[in-house]
Amino acid sequence: MIKLTIDGKTVHANPGDHVLDVALENGIDIPHLCHHKDLFPSGSCRMCLVQVEGAPRPQTSCGMTVQDGMVIDTKTGAIEAMRRDIVDLFVSDHPLNCVICDKNGSCDLQDNAYRYNIQETSFDFELSRPKYYDDNPFYVRDYQYCIMCGKCVRVCDEIVGANAIDFSGRGFTSIISTPFEVPLAESDCVFCGNCVQICPTAALLPRSKIGKGREWEMERRQTICGYCGVGCTVEYALKDGKIIYAQGTPDGAVNGEFLCVKGRFGWDFNSSPDRLTEPLIRKDLAYELGLTDEPWEMPKTSALKGKPKLGNFIPVSWEQAIDITATKLAGIVQKHGPDAVVGLTSARCTNEENYLFQKFMRAGVGTNNVDHCARL
Q: Is 339 in the site for another protein (CB under 8 A)?
A: yes
Phi-psi region of 141 (alpha: psi -120 to 50; beta: other; left: phi over 0): beta
Report the nearest approach of another protein to the CB of residue 283 (Å): 10
Quote the CA–CA distance of 14 and 82 in Å, as a whole number. Answer: 29
Residue 236 within binding range of another protein, rule CB under 8 A = yes
Site residues for another protein, window 97-136 (CB under 8 A)?
A: 136
Question: Which residues 31-90 are close enough to bind another protein by CB under 8 A?
Answer: 38, 40
| CA 165 remoteness from chain centre | 19
**Interaction of residue 186 with another protein, rule CB under 8 A:** no
- The end-to-end CA distance of the chain, in Å, is 49
Between 96 and 285, whose beta carbon lies closer to another protein? Answer: 285
Applying CB under 8 A, which of residues 190, 213, 215, 296 lies at the interface with another protein? 190
Cα separation, 193 vs 162, whole angstroms: 12
Q: 56 or 273, CB closer to another protein?
A: 273
Per-residue interface string for the shown chain with another protein, residues 195-234, x marking contact by CB under 8 A: --------------------------xxxxxxxxxxxxx-
Per-residue binder mask for another protein (CB under 8 A), 347-376, x = binder: xxxxxxxxxxxxxxxxxxxxxxxxxxxxxx
d(CA 39, CA 49): 18
Q: How many CA atoms lie within 13 A of 374 on its CB side?
A: 5
How are beta strands 166-168 and 370-371 bridged, if at all?
unpaired
Nearest distance in Å: CB 58, another protein: 29
Quote the least distance from Cβ 70 to another protein, whole Å: 20
Distance CA 167, CA 73 (A): 33
Residues 156-175 that bind another protein (CB under 8 A): 157-161
CB of 165 to another protein, least distance (A): 15
Q: Cβ distance 145 to 194 under 8 Å?
A: no
Q: What secondary structure letter does DSSP report for 364?
A: I
**Per-position x/- string for 306-335, each x denoting binding to another protein as judged by CB under 8 A, each - no binding:** --xxx-xx----x--xxxxxxxxxx-xxx-
The single-letter DSSP state of residue 177 is E
SS3 for 162? coil
Considering the complex, state which of residue 59 and residue 178 has its C-beta at the smaller distance from another protein: 178
Alpha-carbon gap, residue 139 to 185, rounded angstroms: 12
C-beta of 89 vs 224, nearer to another protein: 224
By beta-carbon proximity to another protein, the closer residue of 57 and 275 is: 275
Could you give the angle at which helices 77-90 and 108-115 cross, rounded to 10 degrees? 130
Euclidean distance between CA atoms 230 and 32, whole angstroms: 31
Candidates 13, 31, 34, 138: give the one binding another protein (CB under 8 A): 138
Nearer to another protein, 111 or 235 (CB): 235
Of positions 137, 144, 153, 178, contacts another protein by CB under 8 A: 137
Eight-state DSSP code of residue 257:
T
